[in-house]
Structure 1
Amino acid sequence: MKTDLLTLPPLDLGPDVSGLVAEIEAYLASLPVPAQVVVPYVCPLGSTVQSWHIGFPLPAPTLLDRLARRSARPVLVSVADHLRLTSRYLHHAGWTQGALWDHKGRVCLLGAQAAVLAHGFGTPHTVGRARNQVMEVLHATGRPVTSPDAFNDAPTTRQADVHHLLDRAAARALSLGI
């Protein structure tokens, strides 16, 4: 005799089953309450794995962009945001000296700025203004170099120095409102 699942009688939760439910609830209530989980403070310079462009919308092509078969318009960012994104990209990809990028994907300061631009954040004008802010900070801190790239490639420069420079340049740009 074949039984169809749709013709089975509904499950009856009579008094026998309700006693079992009450017993399980009593057991669960007797267990110790787990300690409240406190979310730890995560330093912005910490090593939490996240995308380097978090907080910024990705460039999305419009219908007209797709019809014209062109890339999406860049996301407009301020100079300070471009410098912050450059620092994040450097942290994400890794840092190198003496080359725009290497075989492991690490980039120099200029390579990181070019990558941020290539990913659709900012315009060439934004990058130029950001480089001007970096040069202003370099000269204000007594490092008379000919370009940010010369500072990046100096044998005494470390990755932390580049991040610190970008942070100071971003703060300067923010204070100027650009």
Structure 2
Amino acid sequence: MFARAVPYEIVAIGASAGGVKALLTVLKALPVDFPVPVVIVQHLDPHHDTVLAELLDRRSRLRVKLAEDGDVAEPGTAYIAPPDHHLLVGPGGALRLSRRDKVRFVRPSADLLFESVAVACGAAALVCVLTGTGSDGSAGARVVSSHGGTVVAEDPSTAEFKGMPQAVANSVAVDLTLPLEGIADALVALTGGTRSL
């Protein structure tokens, strides 16, 4: 565990293929009093409504909801980017939805989420890349790192799909690389919880 001068303000998570199972594993292990908001990009079918938020909400101690434009992110709540919308975080945890162009062929984009978190929170940003194909999240993780934030990645060797976590590991010095089952405990410990790594 490394000492930090700046407390974290937010956790941003990016996932793609295999992500629903990975998100269930992480979110169900976070305590109800998790001290910072969680914002999530999971690549979804852009042409259909999703029940992902309801599914995760039923199995998580956190409140889980689809993000809405104008929401202010609150501790103990996880916000999921709706299908075909980028999710951005502004000052004070203000959430914004955008239909701007796809990034790396996807909308929502983990890159854009991570970049917005880096700008809004600086060294108080904590981002996590889970299973997925492609390289979404790698450019955003570089921005987070350059602003003094922290990057956590699922261990590519144990990820269901290693593309995204491997791309992040190839592009930035990842602060923590962990098997999926260890990520929730790490997030709790990093944000000031009582569990140890």
Return the TM-score normalized by structure 2. Answer: 0.28
Rg bigger for which structure? 1
Higher helix share: 1
Return the TM-score normalized by structure 1. Answer: 0.30
Higher strand share: 2
